[in-house]
Amino acid sequence: MAINEITLKELLSSKIDSLEQKIQDYHTLQTEISKNILEQTKKTNGRVNKLEDKVEVLQSADIRHIINCPRLQEIKKIDDKILELDESLLEFKMIKKNPKLFIAILSVSILIFIGSVIYSLYEINSLVVDVQSDMVKKEQTK
């Protein structure tokens, strides 16, 4: 039995040594992971601190607020010009929205124009006829 006990002790000793080595390796791995996490956290905190400094500079300058904007008058002028252009384009928006109505209005306008031209030509023709008849009467009276 002494041989079995010695073999058992050696077996247990080797298993314990193996477990001890695995625990040591696992501890080393966890230490490396913790160091990497700490290093990345420091980098991130450094970036955040830089951004916070920039935010503090902006807040102390108070340039975010429109009241303190040095170009406020120019912005208002541009807004006014945009509104003016928008108002001037209302007719074109109406044409784009109602093309049939636009064509009807245009057709009626053209017909009225043609009618007024024909009426004017008729009046001019009747005036010419009157002038000619007056001239004929004057010549006959001479």
What is this structure's pTM? 0.35
CA distance 67 to 79: 16
What is the enclosing helix (H) or strand (E) of 18?
Answer: helix 2-61
Mind listing the pLDDT tens digit of every residue in the chain (142 residues)?
566 777 888 888 888 888 889 999 999 999 999 999 988 888 888 788 888 887 777 666 655 566 667 777 888 899 999 999 888 888 888 888 888 988 999 999 999 999 999 999 999 988 888 888 888 888 888 6
Do 86 and 92 form a contact (C-beta atoms < 8 A)?
no
